[in-house]
Amino acid sequence: MKVAVVGATGLVGTQMIRVLEERNFPVSEFIPVASEKSVGKKVLFKGDEYAVIGMQEAIDRRPPIAVFSAGGGTSRMWAPRFAEVGTTVVDNSSAWRMEPGIKLVVPEVNAHVLEKTDKIIANPNCSTIQMVVALVGLHKAYKIKRIVVSTYQSVTGTGKKAVDQMMNERKGITGEMAYPHKIDMNALPHIDVFLDNGYTKEEMKMVNETRKIMEDDSIRVTATTVRIPVIGGHSEAVNVEFEKEFELSDVFKILENSPGVIVMDEPARNIYPMPIVSHNRDEVFVGRIRRDETQPKTLNMWVVSDNLRKGAATNAIQIAEYLVEKKLI
């Protein structure tokens, strides 16, 4: 199968290539694609070097599938052109996520919505992905009424420029700034742009995407998203109120049996999820599971996942795997 990776030289694109290798995705022809300034650069796939090509040349090769991580503007322009020649696009940008008629998919949660006619499929926001993977089993059992989530997000979510800023600050080097403030030894309650309602775009992504993926507009979600100086994964403090009462022992069982979830919850032994644990892993790690003692039917939990892997690249490749398995491409 011909597989195109669009944005092959970026942080997420590089991870997509790695995940394709690791999961032995059935690639008969590997097509790395990027912007004109990167055309001709070499990337490695399964030990062989491939030259990066431009968009139109990739379209002309008519790959059955293309995984995109090239930014919203690029996706808006080029994803429909790939789709026109029969390519199924799995897009990691925010461009199509809330578009009516475009499926927003986390395979462990709602892969069942995919059909052969879906030629552009949206990959959700990284912080949304890990939260819904952790919550879907509990939602089925107890029905979620309201989620209050605070995130602690890795600089890798912004990209290489942000990682460089943090590392430069650690070395005392003045360099290009990805953020309006210093990030090392700091925390920025500011991810993406601020909107008229006082929330950031990242916070509203978590609100709207959660409802769409869970197929339940009645779920109330409020979020505060924070950038912290770590590499390895995003962390979330999630407070979730259910319609039905639960037993804590049953919550543990549901989470332990949830696809893609690893429970790490032994506080007496200092065992709980951390970004350093999730780094280069594909699972969603859940710990600090406990009742909210201030109101009934409410749970607190701590959710951690590698934002470049499950939060982006791995989720996209899992969508592609599902399409192949179900013969939808």
pLDDT digits (tens, 9 = 90+) for 95-146: 999 999 999 999 999 999 999 999 999 999 999 999 999 999 999 999 999 9
pLDDT tens digits, 139-167: 999 999 999 999 999 999 999 999 999 99
Q: How far is CA 304 from CA 94, 104, 264, 317, in A?
A: 21, 21, 10, 20
Q: Supply the DSSP symbol for 70.
A: S
Helix ranges restricted to H, the chain:
11-22, 55-60, 72-84, 107-110, 126-142, 160-171, 201-214, 248-256, 275-278, 314-325
Comma-separated ranges of CATH 3.40.50.720 domains in the chain: 2-123+312-325
pLDDT at 184: 98
Q: Tell me the CA end-to-end span of the chain in Å, nearest whole number.
A: 10
Average per-residue pLDDT for the chain:
97
Amino acid symbol at 282:
D
CATH entry 3.40.50.720 includes domain 2-123+312-325: yes
Residues 236 and 149: beta-carbon distance below 8 Å? yes
pLDDT at 238: 99
Residues 194 and 121: beta-carbon distance below 8 Å? no
Q: What is the pTM of this model?
A: 0.96
pLDDT tens digits, 241-268: 999 999 999 999 999 999 999 999 999 9
Comma-separated ranges of CATH 3.30.360.10 domains in the chain: 127-307
Q: How far is CA 25 from CA 10, 98, 185, 249, in A?
A: 20, 28, 40, 37
User: Residue 279 and residue 166: Cα distance in Å, rounded?
Assistant: 18
pLDDT at 252: 98
Percent of the chain with pLDDT over 70: 100
Q: Is 126 a catalytic residue?
A: yes
pLDDT tens digits, 31-51: 999 998 999 999 999 999 999
Catalytic residue (one of 112, 126, 139, 279): 126
- DSSP helix/strand/coil, 88: strand
Q: Tell me the average pLDDT across 202-224.
A: 98
Q: What residues pair up with 32 in beta bridges, in sequence order? A: 5
Catalytic residue (one of 112, 139, 181, 234): 234
What's the fold here for domain 127-307?
Answer: Dihydrodipicolinate Reductase; domain 2 (3.30.360)
Q: What is the band of 294 on the pLDDT scale with cuts at 50, 70, 90?
A: very high
Q: Is 139 a catalytic residue?
A: no
- DSSP helix/strand/coil, 104: strand
